[in-house]
């Protein structure tokens, strides 16, 4: 089985699939020792055509494929799309419109974050051969078995998509899934600007000095990881960012006293650069610190209320055949427990109809949870005269 390795073949293939209503897409990549994922193989399948594309082939220009991925007429189908979308975003395009079969599976009653092989087994009655699962996809040449394994990922996906879409459409749940797709295609979710790196971490304090150092250390780590093409954790662990922000070291001795910073770090090629970044930020912490709208301190949710909401959520998700994670998170329940008007997804749209309204009724004492055998039944109570 020969992959596409030249521009003429890629252009011809992309011309054919661009006429399809949808294509299934997957990637094989390596990133264990790098910051930037190394794209090693791209698999694409439509209803009648499929191919492996070798992005490591000398001189291969991926622009025809990237144009198809951006074509609004063609739906791009992925399973667990986020890392694949991140890779294509690094190449300059976010695939859109997009359909993620893992998210769709959660809405169709296949449980929380169902694995691809499990979805194929349940819907197509096919067991996937996993013998090539741990392939080093960067090595060449790839064997026929490895190429067949890779291509099967998208040929099965191309068969899954119409079945899953029809199932959701018949149940009236397709809009639910498409609502979730908006977050996967939001370019802001893949923004790697070092100055915004602090956002993926959780600051523990909110003083200008702490936040300025927190932002500076996170930005320095992100820039260094990008420049050296190394994982963030190999440069500095997350806990070190918090300790640096707490202590605010501005010299080598201060850096050496931190428990979470590797021994000898201040004397390495990293230490002086980090210290310089911290000194710059701490010259005017008020100006450099990110502005975080905190609002009033949250009221502590009563544990019993949260636990009742969890039981209700589980009951309603089982009744509807929808993964509870798709309806509400634990954080949502904690906010809902103390505020009937909480700004949570569970109180909007289809989630409110499926769960949110009942959650409010439960808090008002208008619903009861009754155990019947192994299941919890939700009972509406009659209003007292």
Q: What one-character-per-residue DSSP string does 280-319 give?
A: HHHHSHHHHS------SPPPPPPHHHHHHHHHHHHHHHHH
For residues 319 and 314, give the distance between their C-alpha atoms in angstroms, rounded to a whole number. 9
Separation of alpha carbons 367 and 374, rounded Å:
19
One fold for both 7-190 and 194-288? no
Domain ranges across the chain: 7-190, 194-288, 303-380
The SS3 of residue 271 is helix
| pLDDT at residue 373, as a whole number | 84
The phi, psi pair for 34, rounded to 5°, reads -130, 160
- Candidates 3.30.420.10, 1.10.287.890, 3.30.70.260, 3.40.50.970; correct CATH number of 7-190? 3.30.420.10
For residue 240, count CB atoms less than 10 angstroms from its CB and return exposed for 0-12, middle for 13-18, buried for 19 or more: buried
Give, in order, the Cα–Cα distances in Å from 261 to each of 84, 167, 241, 256, 306: 33, 52, 9, 7, 38
Collect all residues with Cβ–Cβ distance below 8 Å to 282 and sequence separation of at least 6: 209, 212, 213, 216, 248, 250, 288
Q: Which of 203, 224, 201, 217 is nearest to 279 (CA)?
A: 217
Per-residue pLDDT of the chain (385 residues; tens, 9 = 90+): 799 999 999 999 999 999 999 999 999 999 999 999 999 999 999 998 999 999 999 999 999 999 999 999 999 999 999 999 999 999 999 999 999 999 999 999 999 889 999 999 999 999 988 878 888 999 999 999 999 999 999 999 999 999 999 999 999 999 999 999 999 999 999 999 999 999 999 999 999 999 999 999 999 999 999 999 999 999 999 999 999 999 999 999 999 999 999 988 988 989 999 999 999 999 999 999 999 876 555 556 578 999 999 999 999 999 999 999 999 999 999 999 999 999 999 999 999 999 999 999 999 999 999 988 888 989 988 765 5
Q: Both tokens of residue 56?
A: 């490591």
Tell me the two tokens of residue 134.
């741990």
Q: At what angle do helices 208-228 and 271-283 cross, to 10 degrees?
A: 140
Q: How far apart are the first and last CA of the chain?
A: 76
Our measurement of the distance from residue 84's CA atom to the centroid of its chain's CA atoms, rounded to an integer in Å, reads 10
The SS3 of residue 355 is: helix
Identify whether the C-beta of residue 192 lies closer than 8 Å to the C-beta of residue 222: yes
pTM as predicted = 0.89
Span 303-380 CATH architecture: Orthogonal Bundle (1.10)
> What is the dotted CATH code of the domain comprising 194-288?
1.10.150.80
Among 366, 353, 355, which residue's Cα sits nearest to residue 315? Answer: 355
Q: How much is the CA Rg of the chain, to the nearest whole Å? A: 25
């Amino acid at each position: 089985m020969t992959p596409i390795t030249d521009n003429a073949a890629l252009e011809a293939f992309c011309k054919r699939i661009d006429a399809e209503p949808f294509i299934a897409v997957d990637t094989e990549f390596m990133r264990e020792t790098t910051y930037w994922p190394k794209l090693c193989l791209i698999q694409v399948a439509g209803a009648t055509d499929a191919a492996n594309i070798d992005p490591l082939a000398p001189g291969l220009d991926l622009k025809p494929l990237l144009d198809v991925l951006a074509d609004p007429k063609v739906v791009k189908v992925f399973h667990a799309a986020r890392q694949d979308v991140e890779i294509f975003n690094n190449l300059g395009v976010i695939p859109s419109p997009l359909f993620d079969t893992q998210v769709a599976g959660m809405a169709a009653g296949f449980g929380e974050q169902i694995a691809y092989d499990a979805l194929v087994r349940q819907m197509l009655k096919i067991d996937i051969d996993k013998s090539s699962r741990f392939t080093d996809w960067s090595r060449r040449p790839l064997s026929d078995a490895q190429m067949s394994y890779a291509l099967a990922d998208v040929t099965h996906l191309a068969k899954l998509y119409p079945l899953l879409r029809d199932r959701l459409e018949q149940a009236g749940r397709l809009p639910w899934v498409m609502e979730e797709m908006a977050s996967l295609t939001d370019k802001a979710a893949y923004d790697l600007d070092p100055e915004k790196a602090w956002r993926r971490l959780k600051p523990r304090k909110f003083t200008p000095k702490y936040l300025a150092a927190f932002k500076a250390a996170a930005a320095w780590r992100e820039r260094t990881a990008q420049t050296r093409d190394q994982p963030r954790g190999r440069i500095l662990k997350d806990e070190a960012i918090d300790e640096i922000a707490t202590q605010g070291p501005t010299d080598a001795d201060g850096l050496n006293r931190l428990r979470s910073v590797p021994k000898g770090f201040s004397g390495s090629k990293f230490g002086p650069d980090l210290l310089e970044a911290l000194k710059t930020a701490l010259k005017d912490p008020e100006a450099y610190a990110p502005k975080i709208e905190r609002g009033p301190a949250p009221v502590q949710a009563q544990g019993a209320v949260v636990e009742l909401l969890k039981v209700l959520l589980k009951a309603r998700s089982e009744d509807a055949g929808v993964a509870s994670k798709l309806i509400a998170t634990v954080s949502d329940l904690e906010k809902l427990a103390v505020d009937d008007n909480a700004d949570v997804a569970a109180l909007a749209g289809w989630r409110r109809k499926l769960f949110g309204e009942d959650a409010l009724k439960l808090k008002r004492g208008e619903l009861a949870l009754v155990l019947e055998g192994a299941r919890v039944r939700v009972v509406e109570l009659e209003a007292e005269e």
